[in-house]
Amino acid sequence: MAKLFLTQLNLAQFRCFSRLRLKTDHRSVILTGENGSGKTSILEAISLFSPGRGLRRAKVADLARHLNPSPSWKVSCQIDRDGTQRSVETTWMNNSKRRLEVDGKSVKQAELNDCVTILWLTPAMDRLWSESADGRRRFLDRTTMSLIADHAGDVMAYDRAMRERNRLLRHPDSDAHWLKVLEFRMGEAGAKLTRQRLYAIERLTRALAGSVSPFPIGDIRLISQEGAQATTIDREELTEALRLSRPRDFKAGRTLIGPHRADLVVEFQGQNRAAQLCSTGEQKALLISLILANARAILEDFDCPPVMLLDEIAAHLDTHRFQMFLAEAKQLDCQMWMTGTEWALFDSLAEEAQKFQMVVEPDGSTVKIVN
Ligand SMILES: Nc1ncnc2c1ncn2[C@@H]1O[C@H](COP(=O)(O)OP(=O)(O)OP(=O)(O)O)[C@@H](O)[C@H]1O
Ligand SMILES: [Mg+2]
C-alpha cells in the first residue's frame, strides 16, 4: 500500500503564528496545549490544501495575523508519497485572491486531489446532525470530492449559475432567454452533482460494510426537502422543473428547487434511530464511522491514504469508544493530526505518534517537540 504523509509544515503570519516550521515523519501527530495556543490553527492551515475555505470556513483576510502591519500570510508543506517529495504552497496578500501552487506551478483547488486528500472532523461538526441541512450537504460534498475530483468543479458551476439566476429573480423584467440558459446550466451541473453524491453514499455504505467499527451506521440516504426536486439525476427533468418553478421563485426572490435543497440522513444501526435523536456521543460516533469509511474508500480506490485532521477527537467519546477509534484508525495507516488537552488520552499510541506541545510566547505561538 502506498504511503503519504506531511514531512514539513511552514506557517508565516498565519493566525497566532508569526513563523513556524514543523518537521514530521510518517507517524501521526499529536498537538496539545492550553486553550488559544494554536492547535486548531495548525489543522486549519493544513486543511487549506483541500478544495474550499478550510475547516473553519474562514475568510482569507481573517487568517492573517492581526499584529502583522501588512496583511498577508503563507502556508506551505512538503508531502512525501512513496519517497517522492512534492511541495504545496498557498499564499494570500491584501486585496488579492488566494494563490495555490504545487511544485512551483499554479494550480486550481479542484486539482489538489492529485496531490493529497485531506479529511477532517472538528468539534463544530458535533452539531452536524441537529443543525440545518447546509452543514450536512457540505459534509457530503467534501466526501464526494475526496472520491471524485470533478465534484468540486460541478458544485462551483451549479452555485455560480444559481447565484446569477437568483440575481435575475429579484428583477421582474429579467431577460427570459438568459434565465433559460442559466436553468440549462443548473440542470446539467445539478443532475451530475446529485449522481456523484449518490455514488459517494453508495461507496461509503460499501466501505462501512467492511468495518468492524463500534460506531454502527444503519442507513445513509439523500433526501429532498418537500417538492424540491433535490435528488433527481435527470438533467432535462431538473431543467424543466426549474422552468416551471419560475413564478414561485420570482415571488421568493430565490431558487426554491434543486440539489441545494437536498439533505443527508443517517440512521444509527439497531433501532434505526435518526442521527438527531442520538446522544451527543452517539452522534460523534456516527461521524467517526463515516470519516473512517471515507478514508477506507479512498485507500481502496486510489491505493493512497488521506491525511486526517481530527480536532479534539476525544471530546464526547467514552474511553472504550475512543480507544476503539484509535485501533481502527491505526489499521488505516494514515497520518492523523490530532489535538487534545492531555497526553494521557493518546497513551495507547506510544511511540507510534509524534508529540508536540504548543507554547504561547509574546511574539506568537510556537511548538516544542515532546518526544
Ligand atoms: N488572525 C489572527 N491573528 C492573531 N491571532 C489570531 C487570529 N485568529 C485567531 N487568533 C488567535 O489564535 C489563538 C489560537 O487559536 P486556536 O483556535 O488555534 O487555539 P486552540 O489551541 O485550538 O484553542 P482551543 O483549545 O480553545 O481549541 C487564539 O487565541 C485566537 O484568538
Ligand atoms: Mg481548538
Beta-sheet strands, E only, within 45-156: 72-81, 84-93, 99-102, 105-106, 118-121
Kindly state whether residues 249 and 365 are assigned to the same domain: no
C-alpha of residue 183 to centroid of ligand 2, in Å: 42
Among 9, 30, 34, 40, residue to substitute to test ligand 1 (most atoms within 8 Å of Cβ) = 40
Asked whether residue 12 falls in the same domain as residue 75, the answer is yes
Helix (H, G, I), strand (E, B) or coil at 119: strand
CATH number of the domain to which 276 belongs: 1.20.1050.90
The verdict on residue 124 lying in a domain is: no
Same domain for 315 and 285: no
Do residues 370 and 357 make contact, with C-beta atoms less than 8 angstroms apart? yes
The answer to whether residues 356 and 27 touch, using CB atoms and an 8 Å cutoff, is: no
pLDDT at 213: 64
Q: Judge if 137 and 260 occupy the same domain.
A: yes
Strand, coil or helix: 239? helix
pLDDT at 291: 94
Question: Is 223 part of a structural domain of the chain?
Answer: yes
What's the pLDDT tens digit per position in 40-92? 999 999 999 999 999 999 999 999 999 888 899 999 999 999 999 999 999 99
Distance of CA 31 from the midpoint of ligand 2 (Å): 10
* Cα-to-centroid distance, 54 and ligand 1 (Å): 15
Residue bearing cell 501521526:
28
Is the CB–ligand 1 distance for residue 72 below 6 Å? no
139 and 282 in a single domain? The answer is yes
Q: Tell me, yes or no, whether 125 lies in a domain.
A: no
**Within a domain: 122:** no
Domain boundary among 302, 332, 354: 302
Q: Is the pTM of this model over 0.75?
A: yes
Integer Cα distance of 4 and 333 in angstroms: 9
Nearest CA to ligand 1 atom 29: 36
**Does any domain span residue 197?**
yes
270 plus 363 within the same structural domain: no
37 lines ligand 1 (CB under 6 A): yes
Same-domain status, 162 and 64:
no
Domain boundary among 252, 286, 302: 302
Cell triple for 165 = 439566476
Q: Does residue 340 have its Cβ closer than 6 Å to ligand 1? A: no
The verdict on 150 and 281 lying in the same domain is yes
Judge whether 123 lies within some domain.
Answer: no
* Axis crossing angle, helix 176-209 with helix 151-169, rounded to the nearest 10: 140
Q: Round to whole Å and give the CA distance between 81 and 93.
A: 30
- Determine which residue's CA is closest to atom 26 belonging to ligand 1: 35
Query: Which of 266, 282, 302 corresponds to the end of one domain?
Result: 302
Identify the CATH number of the domain in which residue 346 sits: 3.40.50.300
What's the number of CA atoms in the CB half-sphere (13 Å) around residue 62?
Answer: 8
For residue 311, the ligand closest to its alpha carbon is 2
Rounded to an integer, what distance in angstroms lies between the CA atom of residue 55 and that of residue 63? 12
Give the position, in ligand 1's atom list, of the atom nearest the Cα of 33: 21
The CA 73 to ligand 1 mean position distance, Å, reads 15
Q: Whose CA is nearest to atom 8 of ligand 1?
A: 15
- How many domains, the chain? 2
- If asked whether residues 194 and 295 sit together in one domain, one would say yes
Is 206 found in the same domain as 351? no
Identify whether residues 292 and 149 lie together within a single domain: yes
> Which protein residue's CA is at the shortest distance from atom 16 of ligand 1?
38
Question: Is the beta carbon of 36 within 6 A of some atom in ligand 1?
Answer: yes
**Centre of ligand 1 from the C-alpha of residue 39, in Å:** 8
To test the ligand 1 pocket, which listed residue (16, 22, 32, 60) has its Cβ within 8 A of the most ligand atoms?
A: 16
Find the 40 Cα to ligand 2 centroid distance in Å: 4
* Within a domain: 86: yes
Residue 82: CB within 6 Å of ligand 1? Answer: no
Q: Domain limits at 65? A: 1-117+304-371
In a shared domain, residues 213 and 268: yes
Q: Cα(117) to centroid of ligand 1, in Å?
A: 25
Say if 313 falls within a structural domain: yes
Written as tens digits, the pLDDT of the chain (371 aa) is 789 999 999 999 999 999 999 999 999 999 999 999 999 999 999 999 999 999 999 999 999 999 888 899 999 999 999 999 999 999 999 989 999 999 999 999 888 988 999 999 999 998 999 999 999 999 999 999 999 989 999 999 999 999 999 999 999 888 999 999 999 999 999 999 999 999 999 999 999 887 666 667 778 999 998 889 999 999 999 999 999 999 999 999 999 999 999 999 998 877 678 888 888 888 888 899 899 999 999 999 999 999 999 999 988 888 888 888 888 888 888 999 999 888 888 888 878 899 999 988 888 877 777 75
